[in-house]
Structures are given as structure tokens and as C-alpha cells.
Structure 1
Amino acid sequence: MFLKRQLPFVITLITSLILIISYFSPHPTISPLRSIFQDWYMIIVAFTMFVGILSLVKVSIKKIKREKGIEVLYPVITLVSLIVMAFFGFLKGGLDNPGFDFMFEYIMVPLQATMFSLLAFYIASASFRAFRAKSTMATILLITAFIVMLGRVPIGEWITGDLLHFTESSFLSRFHIPNVTEWIMNVINMAGQRAILIGAALGVMGTSIKIMLGIERSHLGGE
């Protein structure tokens, strides 16, 4: 029980305290420890990638044995792609190997582009559902999104551009649609993003403190 529950907690607490202190203390004995822990972290990450590859192979083999028909092609393609990419990656040149570079440029990149292009349809569908003016907040969201999208296309420049060209008023230039779009993105949107980031950082800090103190032990298999 000690090796399973208490020892990981002690290691987590000690390493966390040393890493936190190293950012605030210039003591010469602390910095080398931080470098050592960071090297250990990279070693652990490498082992987790190895475990992930083994898990992928195990799951794919199970699917090959279980699936029938065309469905069996997907795990087969996954395993073949994994083996081929690993083979070229271990050859001379590593990531700069021509075979590895060819597969990445002409297989991986087009597949990523295809996935992102498909996501555009899901985003459009979700936006259509979210932008329905069913309440005051939804109406504000709809108007703001409309202004931002209008300011990102040439027609937004054309709608208010001619009016400002004839008036040459510095006050009216503030209402130029591209200028309004930039103000929304740099002021309102940035304020919301910072609030979300601050909230996420506070959540990370709270979770980290709970893990360090042993309150949160779900990563050790506890409840």
C-alpha cells in the first residue's frame, strides 16, 4: 500500500516544492535540481509515448480480430502507417529522411487539411444554432458576430468606405466596419480571453495544490 499510494504522493510533493522554490530562489543548489527533474520529465514523457504506442497496437489488433468486412481496414491501415513511419524515422536522417518527409508532406498534411475542412461544416452548424436571437444575450452575440464577419471581408470595407471618403471625418472613422471589428477583437474579445485564461490558471493552481497535499488522488487510482 505504501508503494502504491504514499510513495507517489511523497515524490509528487517533494518535486513540486523544489520546482516551485527554484523559480523564486537563486540558490545554486536549487537550479541543478530543477534541470535534473526536467530531464526526468522528458524521460517519463518518452516512456508514456512508448506505452501509448503499445496501447494503440493492442487496441488495433483486437479490432482486427473482432471487426468484419471493410471495417477491418481501418485498424490495418493504422498499424501499417505506424510501422512504415517508424521505419523511415529510424533510418539515416531521421525526420529529414526523404521517405519520412514524403509521407508527412503528401499523406499527413493532406489528411490534416481534410479534417480541418470538415470541421468548418460543424462550426457553421454550431454557429447557426448559437446565433439564433432567442434572448438578449443571444441577440448581442448575433450582432457582434455579424459585425466581425462583415469586417473581415471586402464588402465591409466597401459599405462604410465610400461614406468616410466623402466626409473625411475622424469621428466617423471610428464607425468604419473594419475599425469596429478590430476594436471588438482587441478590446472586448481580448478581455474575455484574459478572463478565461485567468480562471483556467486559478483552476490549475487549485488542482495542483490539491494534488500536492494529497487531497486529489485520482491519478493514483483513488477516488
Structure 2
Amino acid sequence: MQKGKIRVQDFLARMPLFNELSEEELDRVALGTTQQQVARKEMVFHCGDPCTGLHAVVYGQIKLSVTSPLGEEKVVRLVSPGDSFGEALMFLGKPYFVSAQALSDSLLLHVTKAAIVDGLRTDPDFACKMLAGMSARLHALMRDVEAYSLRTGTHRVISYLLAQKGEPEPGCEEPGRRVLLEAGKKMVASRLNLTPEHFSRILHELGTRGLVTIRGREILIPDPSKLEAACAY
């Protein structure tokens, strides 16, 4: 695991939530921020633990999940560098309703509720940005509910692949691009509310139709427009 620390203010200044704060305001937020190194598979918190602030991911990846009484896990969200989690529950004073686990060695920032409240009192724009961030999360949650309820598994997989950041595929004519699954197939399947077997079958079917080429976690999309058009069928 990386052992190096970072200058908290520099990282916060690059986050959409904090990037318009003055140096003095960033200094105040930094005073209420601690750096937390988490090893792969280590738990950040468990469902039911008290929420005392928000977390931001500096490097690594965090899985947010819920577990059924039968022990079945559902991945709610995968949190990547530069993103944060825990804002809404922090204000509600409620315990976490998900568990958070590191999928790789990670460095997190934990910003206390007191530091956030201080920022809200001194900067109205900060309050608006906080609301915008939580609204975006709610919108994403509603999109997920709509997808689980109304879209087929194939549509969910196609939408997921097209939403991933891709790179041009060397030697492939435009508009071909290559995407890397943000986690293992089992994890992504849970995120899409699919069984791993169903997820693999859909990828295989898309590959048979020439819409994708599968290379482990790497997926080549020869023509994204054709893949998108497949949602109509």
C-alpha cells in the first residue's frame, strides 16, 4: 500500500464540492479532515455504524453494498478517486444503511460534519453545491430504479458499457473504443442487479453479434452507435 500523505487542501480544491472555496475556507475544512489509509478488502464502516462526516476517495476504489438476511450482497455503488460518499446521512444524523469496503489499497479523506457545517454557514454557494451533489445522487438512484424495473438485462449492460469512459482502440477505425470494467465482472453484475452468470451470457451474446470483443475486464466496442442501436431490439 502507498504510505505517502497528501496536502489535504490541494485535493479538496480539485473536488467539485470544494473547488470554489477560498484558501482560508479550505484551511478550515482541512482542520476537520483526517487521512485514512485502507488496505484491500478492509472495511471502512459497517451498516449501522454512526455517520460523522463524509468520505472522499484520493486513490483506490470503495464498494458500497447492502446484505440481505440470507447473506446475499447487492452492490449499490462503486466509488472512484475524486468522488465522495456519506453526505446525505451526515445531515440526517442517521447511521449508515450500507457497508463500505476497499476493493484496492485506498487513501480516503474523512471530513467531519462540523467542518462541513462551518463551510455552509460562511459560504452560501457551498450550500448550493452540496445540494446539487446530493440531488445528482438522487437522480442517479432514480435512474437505477427505472433501469431495474423497466429495462431488460441486455439494455442495462449496454447502457453501462456506453456510460464508461473509453479510449480509442489502437489500429481500430473510428469510432471504435476500448473500455475497462470498473471492477470484476461479479461486482459489476451486482451493480446492475444481475447474476454473474446472466451478465456473462449477455456479454457473450453481444460478442457473438459482433457488437463487443471481450478481453477479460477490457471490452472493445468497434462501433458504439451500433451497440446503442441494439437497445431498440
TM-score, structure 2 as length reference = 0.22
Higher strand proportion (structure 1 or 2): 2
TM-score, structure 1 as length reference = 0.23
- Structure with larger Rg: 1
Higher helix proportion (structure 1 or 2): 1
